Amino acid sequence: MKLLIIIGLAAVWCDAAQWQDRRFPDDFRFGAATAAYQIEGGWNADDKGESIWDRLTHTNPDFIADRSNGDVAADTYSNYRTDVQMMRELGLDAYRFSIAWSRILPNGISSKVSDAGIAFYNNYINEMVKYNITPMVTLYHWDLPQKLQDLGGFMNPNFHEWFEDYARVAYENFGDRVKHWITFNEPREICYEGYGSDTKAPVINATDIGTYYCAKNLLIAHAKAYHAYVKDFKPKQGGVCGITISVNWVGPLTDSEDDRLAAEIKRQAEWGLYAEPIFSEYGGFPAELCNIVAWKSAEQGYRRSRMPEFTDEERTLVRGSSDFFGVNHYSGTLVSATHYKETHPVPSLLDDAGVGVYNPPEWPQSASSWLRLSPNSLYYALTHLDTKYNKPIIYVTENGWSESPEDGYYIDNGRVEYFRAKLNDALDALEAGVDLRGYMAWSLMDNFEWNQGYLERFGLFEVDFKSEYKERRPRKSAFVYKHIIETRVVDPYYEPDSLTMWIDDGHYFQSAYYNNQYSSGPFSVSYN
């Protein structure tokens, strides 16, 4: 175990020592990412419909650690021009954001399209395009219209029809400018946390079948939306369509055969369940996990496996249905076949996997319990995907580090250290031949961080959620990231002289940091 950790750290130090010779390609896309419910606010503006997160936070506020919600959040619905100025000041090549399904289809289905919702996203996209910032649009980032959830949501076998219709509305209205589409963000979090557990909306907690049936219906919906784009929109619009899957690295605790197999089973349960049907040669759910679930289902008295099968037609439909692999990556973990096992609901996905998880205490800890700085984890994840799925085009669509509001808003050295480590991982992957096309930092600004509300902050820009206009101020990490984008180099010694960002109209974003000295104020921020 210690040997694996030491080797990882040595690689990071070696990379840092050779930083002058390592450069990102000129056509590599640097960007940042956000999600609609987490930043937009305007939860009931104009004719927007209710989402599952609106319903959850309003009816069960104790579900959120600080009893907050996304009703207003960073109010991007009113402040989108400010957000684009932030992107512009950072020098972003691209910006990944999501569309709120119920903002453009208030009832969830395509019989009613909201003119106000379409206008908002048109204005947002046009503002990006005006400054040559490539919009990357995620169609679904966890905010299902509540009216569709009332009909079963992802457990309804007709879900793919609703999603394809919604995707077509988006392609029709925005596809002349949007050339990068992502169908779903993080299927694991949608299916396991929302349907197979009780940690995310809609909190179905059907531990036995929720994850697996959601997974199949999601994958079919993804494939339908993908083929709709390829057949009816791509010939004229010329874009690409893919999916984003959370791929945190999972390695064996020891070099034993049992631990190597345990790590593979854990990878299948975490992300292979969604990647294998799309990106593998044969399609369908991963074989080893399928066999385990079938065997356990029989032992538990089920008449059939709790994991549904794909028909031959469905398998063919899903296989190959992505132009790129979007990777959300944050951390890594070590897995054992025999040690560190926890008790999970029986039956459930985690009980089916049946492995133990270990996070070395020396790995730096973020403000989020699940996020540590795991050495070389992004490199391991990217090279594994490259080998396993025959060199797919890859975008890192999320990667970031959380800090608490008490950790010093502006001098976020932990986040700076994290970004430098992971961008060195990305350079290592490029040098290893991985077809990595871009990197999106999470997140452009502080946001509503789901169950943790506003207690965990991921933003390059701090948001003053108590201020009338939700003022934004850059952190040190914003300047470090800006420097990396400008130079295409990860300079381990770069320190900004001040934390002030000017924009063209004479206003400026200013932080409490001048000439390497921390100050408590005053602050001046305005752009509305």
Catalytic residues, by residue number, are 186, 398
Pairing of strands 29-33, 436-442: parallel
Encoded tokens for 270: 């975490």
User: What SS3 state is found at 91?
Assistant: coil
8-state DSSP, 191: I
Q: Calculate the alpha carbon distances from 275 to 195, 208, 335 in Å.
A: 19, 21, 20
Are 449 and 463 spatial neighbours (Cβ–Cβ below 8 Å)? no
Are 438 and 396 spatial neighbours (Cβ–Cβ below 8 Å)? yes
Collect all residues with Cβ–Cβ distance below 8 Å to 109 and sequence separation of at least 6.
148, 162, 165
Pairing of strands 249-252, 180-185: unpaired
Encoded tokens for 413: 């050295």
Are 196 and 348 spatial neighbours (Cβ–Cβ below 8 Å)? yes
In angstroms, the CA 395 to CA 481 distance is 17
Closest CA to 347 of 189, 212, 153, 218: 212
Pairing of strands 325-328, 394-398: parallel
**3-state secondary structure string across 377-412:** HHHHHHHHHHHHCCCCCEEEEECCCCECHHHCCCCC
8-state DSSP, 447: -
